[in-house]
Amino acid sequence: MSYTHFDTLIIGSGLAGLTLALNVAQTKKVGLITKQNLLDGASGWAQGGIAAALSENDSPDSHIRDTLNAGSGLCNEAITRSVLENGPQAVQWLINQGVPFTRDQKNNTGYHLTREGGHSVRRVIHAADTTGQAVQKTLGNKILNHKNISVLENHIAIDLITSSKLGHSDTKNNCCFGAYALNNQSGKVRTISAQNTILATGGAGKVYLYTTNPDTATGDGIAIGWRAGCHISNMEFIQFHPTCLYHPHAKSFLISEAIRGEGGILKLPDGKRFMPFHSEHGELAPRDIVARAIDFEMKKRGLDCVYLDISHKPASFLKKYFPFIHTRCLELGVDITKQPIPVVPAAHYTCGGIATDLNGKTNLDNLYAIGETAHTGLHGANRLASNSLLECLIFAQAAAKDILNQESTPHVQLPKWDESRVNHADEEIIISHNWDELRRFMWSYVGIVRTTKRLQRAQHRINLLREEINEYYSNFRVTSDLLELRNLVDTADLIIQSAMSRHESRGLHFSLDYTNTQQHAKNTILRK
């Protein structure tokens, strides 16, 4: 059990990982590892839906224009066109798998389409307000019943095994042969070899104190890829969702952008609307603009939150299209049919990540990155709402096609994990303390609005934390908490490095020291 071989190793069980697994498993032996249970992860938390040009009054060109506008000049136009032109077929693939999207016979598509910030028309197909959960359950059931897919739950990847780490000098390029993974339950480390390895671990929202992400979003794939030699792009662009429920007992509860798409109004405590003073598009401005507007109003007036009011819509409408939000808010004492919802911005999506091509390939041979872990060029400096699940689908399918076109090669026998010179940790309190410190200074210094001084302070703290964690990692047996903290520190460092190198304000990166936007948009690329 300590050594396993698969044709294809997928690290992560979100929509990207599940889609790729189902698309290669007809002819490949697939291993899929996930930190907790199969359906845990950010994909299942997605409320709004999937954006695609499905209706008669929409087109890929319109979707492309909206994406480019939101991306503030940094979207790769060729990638954007390729992804969005393939959007309808990707959605159809999900329909064919049995995903129960919300129906609407009045619409020419047969499905209800909603509109979100930055979109010029209604194009977001959804399953009520729990789209991610519906998609994940549908695909997850197929995964569990597939004879060629082995699901390794409660496993966390430690590091990739590459030719450079093995000391191979006969290969022209650095090549990935698999990964080491810790079994969280047994504490044993498994060596997994594979012809192709895919990083699909999601984003890094937990690097911040307040986030809409689940606890699993610790930047694992990005950090693992960086340590192995992957190129990293545009990590300064962290999307803060404008509307996370503000309530002491509502951990990470997102209020879908579709609420604003259906007429929700942002208000101050006295009931006054403020978004028209920040954007001509009001509540339907792109997320970066709305998040900064809320942040500005809160700091200016010393507020703990602002309010999102949809109570002017009929109660029957809200219960039909937002049943999950309605029920959860009601449990917490907020009746959205009668009163406004207290909201604050929170870290939501990592627009940067491991640099890949159109097939999800990284600069390491036999290694792919897909989903939020990757930087594909689609999102630019600010992701357009509901493009993320579509990106997962398109790049998972492209990577699967590329993998299936390869010839099989003999697998390389890999060395087993060596822990002969380490001990059990004597004090694990250092991990929780460092985790808390990291998330607090990232929120304070590397948040929605930044300055050079704040970034320098964060960099200094990161350097001190890294010394402690590296010493801890070198002397004690690995645990899930230690690995996640190690990955969070590496990912936070990449965010800070990227932010410090961008001397302008663009999209999600806003600096008080560089408020102008440069004429020519350039990606931030980090290489070891």
Amino acid sitting at position 183: N
**Does residue 79 contact residue 376 with C-beta atoms inside 8 Å?**
yes
Amino acid sitting at position 426: D
Contacts of residue 254, defined as CB under 8 A and 6 or more positions apart, other chains included, come to 45, 47, 212, 241, 243, 244, 245, 346, 348
**Does residue 191 contact residue 425 with C-beta atoms inside 8 Å?**
no
CA distance 50 to 59: 15
Alpha carbon 474 to its chain centroid, in Å, reads: 29
Order of strands across the sheet that contains 265-267? 238-245, 341-350, 306-309, 265-267
Element (H, E) at 318: helix 315-321
Least Cα distance to 63 among 374, 104, 93, 54 occurs for: 54
Q: Assess whether 486 carries a catalytic annotation.
A: no
Q: Which of 122, 287, 328, 454 is catalytic?
A: 287
Separation in Å, CA 81 to CA 12, 63, 281, 492: 27, 9, 25, 31
CA distance 273 to 281: 13
DSSP secondary structure code for residue 407 in this structure: P
CA–CA–CA angle 245, 205, 44 (5° rounding): 70
CA–CA–CA angle 423, 165, 364 (5° rounding): 130
Q: Which residues are catalytic?
A: 287
